[in-house]
Structure 1
Amino acid sequence: MKKLLLSLMVGASTVLLAACGTKTSSSKRNSVSLMQTSELLSLDTSEHADFTTWNTLENSMEGLYRANKANEPAPASATSVVKPTDHGLTYTFHLRKNAKWSNGDPLTAQDFVTAWRRSVSPTTKSGYNYIFSGIKNADAITASKKSPKTLGAYALNKHTLQVKLEHPMPYFDKMMVLPAFFPENPTALKKFGSKYGTQSKYLYYNGPFKVTGWNGTNDSWTLKRNNHYYDQKAIHLDELKYSVVKDANTAHELFDQKKLDDATITGVTAKGLQQNKDLIHERKAGTYYLRLNVRNGKPLATQKMRQAISLVLNRKQLTKDVLADGSQPAYTYTAPDLAKDPTTGKDFATETKPSDTYNVAKAKQLWTEGVKESGQKGTVKMAIVGDDQTITKNVAQFVQASVKKSLPGADLTVRSLPAKGQQSAELNGDFDMEQIFWLADFADPISFMGILQSSNPQDYGKYKDAYFDKQYQEAESSHAADVKQYWQNMRNLQERLNTTMPVVPLYQMVESHLVNPRLKGVLRHPVGEDDYTRAYLNE
């Protein structure tokens, strides 16, 4: 998931705070204070998808499944993890009859159908309608060839949801923990109309908590206990308090002042705290990378120039000296620790790593040849766009210095923008390089590859490669049930990206967290969002 974005998925090792000691709901303080590094822009999953939105909804909404301690799909709104029938083409889910929304409405199968139809629509703004691909008629709907009402999701009765696929999808269960597949309350949609999800009060919630106090622009909000949630005994906290903290030093100070129970730190701040007793590392199946704008007429439309950008970046220096928080260099778009290739027994990212990753001499040669091929004369002016977090600025400055120092005639400007400003630049193609993040939605390389299809709404750099599209389509359809052919498609896709370079990987996400030692029961997923819904404070 981008920005996030962005990661819900299975197969990598999980870091879990051991749930030891005594749970308490009667302590003097029965709430925890958490942070996000960017603003909350929306709570409507059909209209928006980023890291802060999904983190908030992960703890206030609930889909058919949720990820458990082992990072495997477990029953949530559905009563069990079901096995498909009809040769893998039909899934029939039975919903909990005591599940309700925060306004008291019963949760029904139609709530899922309604939400999925909204989200798969070609007019949705979330950029996530592609995730429904594989469900009957989804591709035709996103291409405006069929009505959303034809989507292969059906309410057989009040508590039975049936989903029909166009081809087997071995990873379908893993996808069902994604916020993209959460239900939506029809009463709220009708009552709030265009305001739906624009403030916390314009939404109903079916999870353990409900969002309060967000007016659409403020940088703090609170998740309060949802008294209509069906499993009250599993919930121990009364509140989850969120605030936006963009600077790691500020996060550290707030943690020391006991104003944060879980603080994310990076850069120099993280480097100086590596021996702190309250520090933990979360290894995530996510990649920070540069999205390159390959539109005709843009400076980086030429492949050799893009290859040069990648080869001029010393990622070991970036992670050691700039990040200094345990993050690891990334040499492939697909993150390490995401999945093991079952046909080789190797980590997928490791086996597809390019042989040449840092070579300034070769970069200069490729750059010179590429500039000549492109017909550009004089200084090649470019802009790198990112958000206004301190760490994002630091990484941008590293890229800027590397490019200016080693590539003849290259002039790179840094543009640090608030979240809404970056989103606007992204949607309008107003960038040459964009700093972005993708956290896998589920533990399979195809979760990364999807957004680089030429038909994908999140292909904001306008990458269009016939070979890449063909390999993806084969993996998603005719080769989906053939393990050998499927993983050959995956390797072909990553190796194609290594050559055409529409994205330049920078580093793998390894989050450094300062955590209150009393905070227990948090599920820290390597793929997807962290789950605080069953957390508690030790006495």
Structure 2
Amino acid sequence: MKKTKTFLAAGTLLTAALALTACGGSSSSSSSKKELNWEESAEIPTMDLSKATDSASFTQLINTMEGLYRAKSDGSQEKAMATSEKISKDGKTYTFTLRKDNKWSNGDPVTAQDFVYSWRRTVDPKTASQYAYLFEGIKNAMDIQNGKKKPETLGIKAVGKYKLVVTLDRRIPYFNNLMAFGSFFPQNEKAVKKYGSKYGTASKYMVYNGPYVMSGWTGSNLSWKLKKNPYYWDKKNVKLDAVNYSVQKTPSTAYNLYQSNKLDAVSLDAEQSKQLKSVKGYKLYPRGTTFYIQFNQAKNKYLQNANIRKALSMAINRQSLTKVLGGSNTVAHTLTPEKLTTVNGKDYTSLISKSDEAYTYYNKKQAQKYLKQGLKELGVSKLNFKLLSDDTDGAKKSTEAMQSNIEETLPQVSITTQNLPFKTRLSRTDAGNFDMVVTAWGADFNDPISFLDLLTTTNAQNGGKWSNKEYDKLIAASKTTGSDSERWSDLSKAEGVLLKDVGISPLYSSTSAWIVRPNIKGLVNLRDHWDFKYASVN
């Protein structure tokens, strides 16, 4: 949730040293009102769940919308819109009974047809959803996305108002995880058609079926409010009246607001994390996130050369980079982060051949060797690349560090850094308007496929357009095998192919460091997405 999933604002945990005191207010001025004041690190690009791809959007969606299940912090799910589930013996048919006591914020009942409409809309190629690929395995989903069949043939149907039947082409081991992910939530057809192209672009152009409703978001502003939804079926267990959001891109500013009781929680950068570990309310949250470089192999002929990509990847000193970042960031040698998935008692990443990870290690001599080979193959003596990232303080320092690494290791390469607002960076990445981009992906659910699906040839998230037939074949095989051991083998081999060809270059994985006021209870953190349904202020 996504991953996000989901794209994350790169570098939100990173900045230079700040002179901070290890103290902070014990209660917020809003606590007596049963409200929280919260921060987000980036603007919201969209509230249209068929089009959302980023962390900021999905955090809002899990609080204002709800699907068949609701994700729990331990990776499991609890029933939400579904009151019961029946699975056929072959694992290909799911029958859900829906609750009858929930309404949309416009007063309409939430029905099985709302799920049917939503799923069809997302897989319809006219919608251009970047998350449509997650529906692969649901009957006819891929044929619909490829224009071979109509959205109405998707394997989902409403039986009356409150029974939903989903038919799969194959068994999906992580199906229930998907049902708790935002892309599978229902949508109100009346609202979508009423608002047309404006749907999801501002809080007033939406209707909601979750614990909260959004207000005050114009589509571009940096503050908004989540208010308790009076139509929500489980409103008795929603203790907060409101969550007041503001975008804070500078950690020092955010911490000052926390100290002055204007924020109830704050995300810490590296130096803050060092100095504030002993403060009450300090906690680390696993993000299930990997930051990595995408190389634009569609529009930059030089980056199509594998030796150039190998040289650039090996020129980055990740150990040094994580020291600059500080905190709990750790070097990443794989796209799938460690501690995401356990296979037979071992971490999934241990299945990946270490030799395939060779290009994720700093090696000046080897980097220069590969650059020399690449330059000879290309018939040039120098190269210039632009390195794109976000405009947060930390993202700027991160790209500066990598620029220094590459130019010092490879004198024939010149790097220009470009740091833009998250929403702008995201749109440029989606449009393929970059040479190299530092991006991040957070797991949508605890399975490697949440990461590895991204780099298949036709995946909309594959902004660099890396393509490898063997990789695609292995990922496809992992989805059709009935054997768990074969599935893990296919996935780990595929990741080895990706790393060996430097389809992307992993940089680091991160854990969020936060200070949350101790009088706030019931918060759920889902890989850096906050769920306020059960939150309260004591």
Q: Residue 245 of structure 2 aligns with which residue? A: 242
Give 1:394 deviation, angstroms.
Answer: 1.2
Q: Residue 330 of structure 1 aligns with which residue? A: 332
Give SS of 2:87's match: coil
Are 1:175 and 2:174 counterparts? no
Which of 41, 48, 54 in structure 1 is aligned with 2:45? 41
CA distance in 2, matches of 1:509, 1:534: 26
CA distance in 1, matches of 2:313, 2:179: 35
Are 1:290 and 2:290 counterparts? no
Give SS of 1:434's match: strand
One-letter amino acid of the structure 2 residue matched with residue 501 of structure 1: V
Q: For 1:28-58, what per-residue CA distance to the aligned partner results, in whole angstroms no more than 9, with x for missing partners?
A: 2310111111101211011232111101111
CA distance in 2, matches of 1:161, 1:429: 38
Query: Does the CA contact (< 8 Å) of 2:52 and 2:58 recur in 1?
Result: no
- The aligned runs of 1:312-391 (5 Å cut-off) are 312-320=315-323, 322-342=324-344, 345-352=345-352, 354-355=354-355, 356=358, 357-375=361-379, 377-391=380-394
Are 1:64 and 2:68 counterparts? yes
Give SS of 2:147's match: coil
Q: Residue 26 of structure 2 aligns with which residue? A: none
Query: Does the CA contact (< 8 Å) of 2:292 and 2:505 recur in 1?
Result: yes
CA distance in 1, matches of 2:521, 2:167: 39
Give 1:378 deviation, angstroms.
Answer: 2.9
Comparing 265-274 and 97-106, the one that deviates more: 265-274
Q: Residue 457 of structure 1 aligns with which residue? A: 460
Q: Residue 495 of structure 2 aligns with which residue? A: 494
CA distance in 2, matches of 1:411, 1:348: 37
CA distance in 2, matches of 1:315, 1:111: 47
Are 1:437 and 2:443 counterparts? no
Q: For 1:51-97, what per-residue CA distance to the aligned partner results, in whole angstroms no more than 9, with x for missing partners?
A: 111011111110100112432011011013x2421501001111111
Which of 246, 270, 275 in structure 2 is aligned with 1:272? 275
Query: Does the CA contact (< 8 Å) of 2:216 and 2:223 recur in 1?
Result: yes
Q: Residue 91 of structure 1 aligns with which residue? A: 94
Give 1:2 deviation, angstroms.
Answer: 6.6
One-letter amino acid of the structure 2 residue matched with residue 282 of structure 1: Y
CA distance in 2, matches of 1:360, 1:387: 27
Query: Does the CA contact (< 8 Å) of 1:384 and 1:415 recur in 2?
Result: yes
- The aligned runs of 1:297-308 (5 Å cut-off) are 297-308=300-311
TM-score, normalised to structure 2's length?
0.92
Q: Residue 192 of structure 2 aligns with which residue? A: 189
Give SS of 2:65's match: coil
- The aligned runs of 1:192-203 (5 Å cut-off) are 192-203=195-206
CA distance in 1, matches of 2:89, 2:141: 19
CA distance in 2, matches of 1:297, 1:224: 47
Query: Does the CA contact (< 8 Å) of 2:124 and 2:145 recur in 1?
Result: yes
CA distance in 1, matches of 2:183, 2:455: 18
CA distance in 2, matches of 1:341, 1:70: 17
CA distance in 2, matches of 1:316, 1:43: 37
Q: What RMSD in Å do the two structures reach over aligned CA positions? A: 1.7
TM-score, normalised to structure 1's length?
0.92
Give SS of 1:59's match: helix
CA distance in 2, matches of 1:352, 1:428: 32
Q: Residue 536 of structure 2 aligns with which residue? A: 536
Q: Residue 17 of structure 2 aligns with which residue? A: none
Give 1:341 deviation, angstroms.
Answer: 2.1
Query: Does the CA contact (< 8 Å) of 2:2 and 2:181 recur in 1?
Result: no
CA distance in 1, matches of 2:3, 2:427: 13
Are 1:309 and 2:312 counterparts? yes
One-letter amino acid of the structure 2 residue matched with residue 337 of structure 1: K
Give SS of 1:168's match: coil
One-letter amino acid of the structure 2 residue matched with residue 224 of structure 1: K
Q: Residue 78 of structure 1 aligns with which residue? A: 82
Q: For 1:462-506, what per-residue CA distance to the aligned partner results, in whole angstroms no more than 9, with x for missing partners?
A: 1110000000111112x1x21111111011111111201111111
For structure 1, list consecutive stretches of 5 or more residues without a partner in the other structure: 8-25
Query: Does the CA contact (< 8 Å) of 1:209 and 1:226 recur in 2?
Result: yes
CA distance in 1, matches of 2:82, 2:160: 14
One-letter amino acid of the structure 2 residue matched with residue 317 of structure 1: S
Number of residue-to-residue matches in the alignment? 512
Give 1:302 deviation, angstroms.
Answer: 1.0
Identity %: 38
CA distance in 1, matches of 2:306, 2:325: 28
